[in-house]
Structure 1
Amino acid sequence: MGELDTFTDALDYPVYVVTTAAGERMAGCLVGFASQCSMDPPRFMVWLSKANRTYRVARDASHLAVHTLRDDQRDTAELFGGRTGDEIDKFEHIGWRWPTAAGAATAPVLDDVSAWFLGRVEGRVDGGDHVGFLLSPVAESPAGPVRPPLLLLSDVVDLSPGHPA
């Protein structure tokens, strides 16, 4: 049992799909460690496990795309959290596009998600078994007519990860 288990077991927060690209490589994974960390300037920190392929691609990437999922998108969470890009091309199983607002191809954006933003990598922080990527937003999805309920950690806690954390 870890020193934070009692505290973190009480938390229930959104999970995210993070996608990225570097050269010809694309990757994406389900992420539970992420948060806005500054309002002015706007910044968001997302933490990627050193064990997964998305981290290996993100090390060479200039941008990451961060997506929120609706509570009915467990299948998307399973694709990005329960499968590894070392074995399958996740992007063959889901709609995606390059964001036009950012100009050049930077990071794939998933078509059917609650919301997304594209962030330029401003810095990296080694946090142990995860590395934090500090993102500066450069593009985002348009606001929807309503805010749908989001997929939460408690909705996917039973997923078997494609890679160990």
Structure 2
Amino acid sequence: MTDLDPFTGLLDYPMYVVTAEADGERAGCLVGFASQCSIQPARFMVWLSRANRTYRVAKHAERLAVHLLRRDQHRLALLFGGETGDRTDKFTDVPWHPGPGGSPILDEAPAWFVGRVESRIDGGDHVGFLLAPEAAQDLAGGHATLLTLDDTHDITPGHPAN
């Protein structure tokens, strides 16, 4: 097996908070594996670790919400990346509201979208969720310095990455 670290170690991509709701349960986690994957029709792929509680809720969800964070929102990144929903209700002290299909929308996020889950793809230790956007909002007016991978190296994951 080829080690990909020499390549991926050079990347500094945006980080996202992905939230899900299914069967009365809410969950959310910090995600680095995500990207737009089609222009027409618009599609976005989010990869969730099988070890993560958010994955267990998302596999039953019809929609997922994908949030961008600003670089100065380290507290939210730490909560959604460093805590596990197995022990902590991450939504207790975070302002949020239900979005389309009940998807939890973080009020402090500068931008978000909700996508209908079109398919789930086995990617090994992560599962890809192909999302068809249904609603989106940019509260920052296109002017936000986004949180990236380099900003989160100090966060110890709530679960192992795989």
Same fold (TM over 0.5): yes
The alignment-based identity, stated in percent, is 60
Taking the TM superposition and a 5 Å limit, the aligned residue runs for 1:11-160 are 11-99=11-99, 102=100, 104-105=101-102, 107-142=103-138, 144-160=140-156
Match of 1:25, as an amino acid? Answer: E
Report the Cα offset of residue 93 of structure 1.
1.7
C-alpha distance in structure 2 between counterparts of 1:80 and 1:2, whole Å: 31
TM-score (norm 1): 0.94
C-alpha distance in structure 2 between counterparts of 1:146 and 1:31, whole Å: 21
Partner of 1:162: 158
Match of 2:149, as an amino acid? Answer: L
C-alpha distance in structure 2 between counterparts of 1:146 and 1:45, whole Å: 21
C-alpha distance in structure 2 between counterparts of 1:124 and 1:27, whole Å: 18
Report the Cα offset of residue 3 of structure 1.
1.4
C-alpha distance in structure 1 between counterparts of 2:47 and 2:5, whole Å: 18
Secondary structure at the residue paired with 1:12? coil
C-alpha distance in structure 1 between counterparts of 2:36 and 2:136, whole Å: 14
C-alpha distance in structure 2 between counterparts of 1:131 and 1:49, whole Å: 6
Report the Cα offset of residue 6 of structure 1.
0.3
**Contact in 1 for aligned 2:110/2:138 (Cα 8 Å):** no
- The number of residues matched between the two structures is 161
Report the Cα offset of residue 142 of structure 1.
4.0
1:30-66 CA-to-partner distances (Å, cap 9, x unmatched) read 0000000000000000000000100000010000000
Report the Cα offset of residue 145 of structure 1.
2.9
C-alpha distance in structure 1 between counterparts of 2:69 and 2:118, whole Å: 25
TM-score (norm 2): 0.96
C-alpha distance in structure 2 between counterparts of 1:162 and 1:65, whole Å: 20
Segments of 5+ residues of structure 1 without an aligned counterpart are none
